[in-house]
Amino acid sequence: MRAALCGRARARPPRRESRARAAAMRVTFVTGNARKLDEARAILGASATIELTSRALDLPELQGEPLDVARAKARRAAALLNGPALVEDTSLSYDALNGLPGVYVKWFLEKTGHAGLVDLLAAHDDKRAVARCVLAYARGPSDEEPLTFVGETAGRIVDARGPRDFGWDCVFEPEGRAETYAEMDAATKNACSHRYRALEAFRAHAANERM
């Protein structure tokens, strides 16, 4: 009499993946600002797409169009790192001042403080402004045409509210919000900021590169 086999399952070896999973894009975010790095990592989350490290580099302060400046910085950073580099240029542009202070907002803030940034619009009723983040990604030292990713958030300039320890966050109130960047918790800011929008565009590019 033959043994019944219907109730027994033959062990099978584990199935191998048809193709190896693509490795995460490893890139160095050029910044010495720990808060900025924390924001970038929080926005990207536990992504299998991008492995982000950081490095502080002494890059030249260049003048010109924001996209051109960012690309030039990315090329220089990639040469110094001998590898992929991601650089960021941020700006704050006032409608009433035809885009000023723009990319010079860091200098304005250092010289005049938060009150000075607000006082620039003292003679104007129009308080509208655009916060802009330009990311430039160079694949390596031989990359002559770094890719750029732009994120913008419209808002208005207000008297300083909230902590004053992170750039001009305390004087910028995003459109449709009742809080300045500085008054928001990290999750709220990271869901609407100019940096979030630029990093999301970069993440989308990285995901396509891995397909």
pLDDT tens readout for residues 136-185: 999 999 999 999 999 999 999 999 999 999 999 999 999 999 999 999 99
What's the whole-number mean pLDDT along residues 44-54?
A: 79
- Could you tell me how many residues make up the chain? 211
pLDDT, position 211: 56
| Class of CATH domain 25-210 | alpha beta
Strand pairing of 147-157 and 128-138?
Answer: antiparallel
Q: 3-state secondary structure string, the chain?
A: CCCCCCCCCCCCCCCCCCCCCCCCEEEEEECCCHHHHHHHHHHHCCCCCEEEEEECCCCCCCCCCHHHHHHHHHHHHHHHHCCCEEEEEEEEEEHHHCCCEECCHHHHHHHHHHHHHHHCCCCCCCCEEEEEEEEEEECCCCCCCCEEEEEEEEEEECCCCCCCCCCCHHHEEECCCCCCHHHCCHHHHCCCCHHHHHHHHHHHHHHHHHC
pLDDT band at 19 (very low <50, low <70, confident <90, very high): very low
Distance (Å, rounded) from C-alpha 189 to C-alpha 179? 10
**72 contacts 47 by C-beta, under 8 angstroms:** no
Supply the pTM of this predicted model: 0.84
Residue 40 clears pLDDT 50, i.e. is over it: yes
Domain boundaries, the chain: 25-210
Amino acid at 98: N
